[in-house]
Structure 1
Amino acid sequence: MTDEETRGRPDKSGVEVAVVTGLSGAGRSTAAKCLEDLGWFVVDNLPPELIATMVELGAQARGVITKVAVVMDVRSRAFTDDLASVIRDLDARGYKPRVLFLEATDDVLIRRFEQVRRSHPMQADGRLIDGIKAERDLLTPLREEADLVVDTTGLSVHQLRAKIEDVFGTESSLQTRVTVLSFGYKYGLPMDSDLVMDVRFLPNPFWIPELRDQTGKDPEVRNYVLTQEGADEFLDRYHDLLRLIGAGYRREGKRYMTLAVGCTGGKHRSVAIAEELARRMSTEDGTAVKVVHRDLGRE
């Protein structure tokens, strides 16, 4: 197996290493946030001489840290030679780091800097274009050695995220994580909900004496709620809607969804509907579902 084929594979300690670098304004911050969302431990602008030490510490964490990404830029003026040396050192130790290099055309970089009204880190007393040219010249050797070069000139933030996910994501990290949260309106709306489903249109088991002290997790209450007129049709249609919304979230790079299901007290209807909806959603590929009953157990 060649060095290129082994790059990016975890070594015997199970630690995978990536180095993200490139031109200022080309999307390093977006790449860092995307890697964090994919489960990587990300450190920004670590001095090159400390990279190997941090990776070794990660390797000693016994599975707590399995993916380490280091974001580097020219704020460390000597970093080009130092970083190349560190990459060779990590290679020699068996970590085989992958190097992601981000770039864009001069006109796009100028426009991005003007939009945020910041100076270029290598501009000094010169013009913005002077700083961009100096940085491009400085980083040329690193670009030539990079495992992956991404030109972000024509990419939106979501398109850049998609490219990074294709390279650095795993099946589990690319799942949409859905939390189905039952609650009672009498205790207030959940502040972190993306969508709110009101199931108070269904008859309330609270008014059935033999069901009052049970919850939506008990078979008797569950059957009572789910067999009410309109309940099954409501679940079918809402599930179809969630498929459509979930697909849109994934296209936009959003992989977390909190769906709140509410009834009066958060004990019967919302619990039963939340459990059933979660059961249906858990059968879909690429979706990880958990259920939380916020108000279950309250008086």
Structure 2
Amino acid sequence: MTDQFAPVAIGEHLVGPNQPVYMIGEIGINHNGDVDIAKQLMDVAVTAGAQAVKFQKRNPEVAVPEHQKSKMRSTPWGEMTYIDYKHRVEFGIEEYAEIDRYAKEVGLQWFASPWDTDSVDFLENEFDALTYKVASASLTDFELLRAIAATGKPVLCSSGMSDWETLDRAVEVFDPALLVLMHATSTYPLPPEEVNLKAIPAMRERYGVPVGYSGHELGLEISFAAAALGAVTIERHITLDSSMWGSDQSASMEPREFASLVKGVRVLETAFGDGQKRVMPGEESKIDSLRKVTA
């Protein structure tokens, strides 16, 4: 397949070849159920120059497996069952209404990964969702995939925990004109030997859609390399402090590091050029002073 394809419009941003890399700060559940922390993380994304932040949305009664619901969990709010913990950190209509209001105020896009069809209905009916993110864990949940596809909205689809056969079946559900795939490996934190960045051009060739990168590694280098390989979007978890309580905090970027990532990607975009070999303005004076034989 060709990699000459149209970008996907997510609101005012175009995501695809020859467009600015769509930078996403993955808040997920790093807000720990506190909308003020969520807003501080949105500020982190704005200050860094990212275009969007992403959350997760669940109906815990549906999304949590039955055998997990009654298990006890130590939390900052004391010992509680896992289902009570999931309810404790889950945002509802009031919290997302404040997030939606604040995103408009600061000029930031927001969206979420729905983990069940109830959450698709919530995001669609209450907020006319801008786009949807398919979590890697949801790639085989075809009821959920079909519900997301039925909205007719753009879809960002992670590819962790999958091989070609699994990904082929998931991709078939979606309109390719609305699809951005995201290479991912669902190991937290992600060691370099499991990253497999060459999957980015391979996915682009196989499916003929834009391909981005959702990273769970530590540091900047691998995400920079993803951009150099043509990733049209880069998503990284963000946190106020990686020592905060929560399962994703230690594999998340603190504000200064995330800002460095966005800045570095913008430098790379400037450096990519157009691929046409020619004499650059800064070289012209060197021709006379250094070249003995002219062409």
| TM beyond 0.5 | no
TM-score by length of 1: 0.29
Which of these two proteins has the greater Rg computed from alpha carbons? 1
TM-score by length of 2: 0.30
